[in-house]
């Protein structure tokens, strides 16, 4: 039952986008928690709910192993089970900790909301972090997403958990809990932001999507097809201000691609040009983004700094190389080398952009530590994620980053979904998953800095600690709502 509750709750994520099922699943999980009497049982319930949640929402994790199924296919089921089961241990620990300090249903559910949100925050930083499929992400495709400008993804998580807890209390325990439930559900809808209008005189950006399946992307027979396809899209009329190619868009290392870049720059016809490429410095390989100036020379380079463990670099590489287990994108035994960190790139009249490459767009913290940009630029190769859930969840998180920062985003993907996203998280124009093509779209103007862009998660984390400690202190006083549970 606990596993089913977690799986039902995960239906709020893309591509299902059914947040009402998230409410029902989370309510079932809380009901199961309230009914338990021991810490051990609470830990099992939390782990089981987490396993169901992660197994469904992260099912795309098997896709990279199916690109070369003969070599890596056997790892696919182990990857899903180990990832879902491992992440579920955090939820199990959170449920167990709450059970240890709970009293009656009101204090228990409120404490669970605080601890559960804290566990999700921990998931975003532990072992380099993996904040994919956060509970709050199920609200991205709802009107409540605008709250992320103030409270971020973790705030959405806490708000949803509190609303569900109040609904459960109102239905089963305390009728008065219906009032805060209605406030949590209804108040955000009373102050909805106005729809943003894009000035047609804004700079025009061309998004290039070659649609190169991963199993063909580096095949010598297909490389010219994908390259010429991008070149043709770049050459198309009318002229634009900027052309953007996706991650690792050219088939040669950047330092050996002078001729290709000159050819692409000529096709761009004077427009600015940004493209993804691999490059090397001595023994080090980098996953990079290059800005090409009007003369055809590379004017700026950004190296991806937040790499994917076991995908772009191998922890304990010497050990795993002995058993033939190398990262999907690794160019050498150790994989890519991380860049120095977030950095702005100057795009001339279009202002300064903050570049993000693929996985980096999942982390709100990767958008901090630099001056405020004029817009966000994300290039990616989502062919690794298959065609079902991964690319759509990745797009949803990109939309969330725009809302959090109040900034437009240019998102260009190899196989899709490429999109222009406005500062409210609305997709203005896109190229569907699995289609080759291009779109010319005006770059929206940024909004003023949001509260979240100034503060990050700091205020929310302080609130979690304060409320959790207060609730624990209540347990040490009288047990008004009932006897303390057994350990």
Instruction: List domains and CATH numbers for the chain.
Output: 2-192+457-476 (no CATH), 204-306+341-446 (3.60.110.10)
pLDDT digits (tens, 9 = 90+) for 249-304: 999 999 999 999 999 999 999 999 999 999 999 999 999 999 998 888 999 999 99
* Sign (positive or negative) of CA dihedral 31, 151, 422, 435: negative
Predicted pLDDT at 313: 87
Q: Give dist(CA 196, CA 199) in Å, integer.
A: 10
Predicted pLDDT at 327: 45
Predicted pLDDT at 329: 42
| pTM score | 0.93
- Kindly state the average pLDDT of the residues 383-398: 96
pLDDT digits (tens, 9 = 90+) for 75-118: 999 999 999 999 999 999 999 999 999 988 999 999 999 999 99
- Rounded to 10 deg, the angle between the 19-35 and 2-9 helix axes is 150
Residues 6+ apart with CB under 8 A from 31: 168, 172
- Kindly state the average pLDDT of the residues 421-431: 97
- Kindly state the average pLDDT of the residues 428-456: 97
pLDDT digits (tens, 9 = 90+) for 185-202: 999 998 888 888 888 899
User: Angle 347-349-352 (CA atoms, 0-180°, nearest 5)?
Assistant: 40
b/e burial code for range 168-205 (CB count within 10 A of at least 16 → b): bbbeeeeeebeebbeebbeebeeeeeeeeebeeeebbb
Residues forming the active site:
247, 304, 358
Q: Give dist(CA 242, CA 209) in Å, integer.
A: 14
Q: Give dist(CA 51, CA 125) in Å, integer.
A: 20
- Give the chain's mean pLDDT: 93
Query: Of 205, 449, 206, 203, which is closest to residue 349 (Cα–Cα)?
Result: 203
User: Angle 313-318-322 (CA atoms, 0-180°, nearest 5)?
Assistant: 110
Both tokens of 243, joined, read: 């052309």
Query: For residue 479, what pLDDT band results from cuts at 50, 70 and 90?
Result: low
Could you please report the per-residue DSSP string of 28-67? HHHHHHHH--SHHHHHHHHHHHHHHHHHHHTGGGGHHHHH
Predicted pLDDT at 295: 85
Query: Of 147, 97, 153, 144, which is closest to residue 124 (Cα–Cα)?
Result: 153
Residues forming beta bridges with residue 345, ordered by sequence position? 353
321 vs 104, higher pLDDT? 104
Sheet architecture: strand order including 375-380: 345-346, 352-357, 375-380, 409-413, 418-421, 427-431
Residues 6+ apart with CB under 8 A from 80: 55, 58, 59, 61, 62
pLDDT digits (tens, 9 = 90+) for 13-34: 999 999 999 999 999 999 999 9
């Amino acid at each position: 039952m606990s596993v089913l509750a977690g799986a039902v709750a995960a239906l709020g994520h893309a591509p299902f986008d059914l947040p009402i099922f998230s409410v029902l699943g989370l309510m079932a999980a809380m009901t199961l928690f309230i009914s338990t009497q021991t810490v051990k049982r609470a830990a099992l319930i939390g782990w089981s709910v987490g396993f169901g949640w992660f197994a469904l929402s992260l099912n795309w994790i098997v896709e990279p192993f199916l690109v070369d199924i003969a070599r890596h296919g056997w790892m696919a089921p182990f990857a899903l089970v180990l990832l879902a089961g491992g992440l579920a241990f955090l939820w199990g620990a959170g449920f167990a900790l709450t059970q240890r300090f709970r009293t009656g249903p009101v204090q228990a559910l409120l404490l669970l909301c605080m601890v559960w949100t804290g566990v999700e925050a921990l998931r975003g930083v532990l072992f380099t972090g993996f904040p994919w499929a956060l509970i709050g992400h199920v609200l991205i495709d709802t009107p409540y997403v605008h709250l992320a400008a103030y409270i971020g993804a973790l705030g959405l998580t806490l708000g949803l958990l509190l609303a569900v807890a109040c609904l459960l209390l109102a239905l089963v325990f305390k009728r008065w809990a219906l009032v805060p439930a209605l406030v949590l559900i209804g108040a955000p809808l009373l102050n909805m932001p106005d729809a943003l209008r894009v000035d047609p005189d804004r700079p025009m950006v061309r998004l290039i999507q070659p649609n190169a399946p991963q199993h063909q992307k580096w095949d010598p027979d297909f490389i010219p097809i994908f390259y010429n396809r991008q070149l043709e899209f770049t050459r198309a009329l009318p002229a634009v201000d900027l052309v953007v190619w996706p991650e690792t868009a050219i088939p040669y290392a950047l330092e050996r691609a002078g001729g290709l870049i000159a050819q692409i720059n000529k096709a761009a016809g004077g427009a600015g040009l940004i493209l993804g490429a691999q490059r090397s410095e001595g023994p080090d390989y980098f996953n990079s983004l290059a800005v090409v100036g009007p003369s055809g020379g590379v004017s700026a380079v950004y190296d991806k700094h937040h790499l994917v463990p076991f995908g772009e670099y191998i922890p304990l590489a010497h050990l795993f190389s002995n058993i033939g287990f190398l990262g999907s994108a690794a160019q050498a035994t150790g994989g890519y080398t991380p860049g120095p960190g977030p950095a702005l790139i100057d795009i001339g009249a279009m202002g300064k952009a903050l570049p993000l490459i693929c996985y980096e767009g999942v982390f709100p913290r990767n958008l901090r530590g630099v001056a405020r940009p004029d817009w966000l630029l994300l290039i990616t190769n989502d062919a690794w994620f298959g065609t079902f859930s991964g690319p759509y969840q990745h797009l949803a998180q990109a939309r969330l980053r725009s809302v959090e920062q109040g900034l437009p985003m240019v998102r260009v993907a190899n196989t899709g979904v490429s999109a222009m996203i406005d500062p409210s998280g609305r997709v203005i124009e896109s190229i569907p998953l699995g289609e080759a093509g291009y779109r010319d779209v005006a770059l929206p103007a940024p909004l003023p800095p949001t509260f979240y862009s100034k503060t990050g998660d700091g205020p929310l984390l302080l609130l979690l600690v304060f409320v959790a400690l207060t609730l624990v202190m209540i347990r040490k006083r009288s047990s008004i709502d009932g006897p303390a549970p057994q350990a």
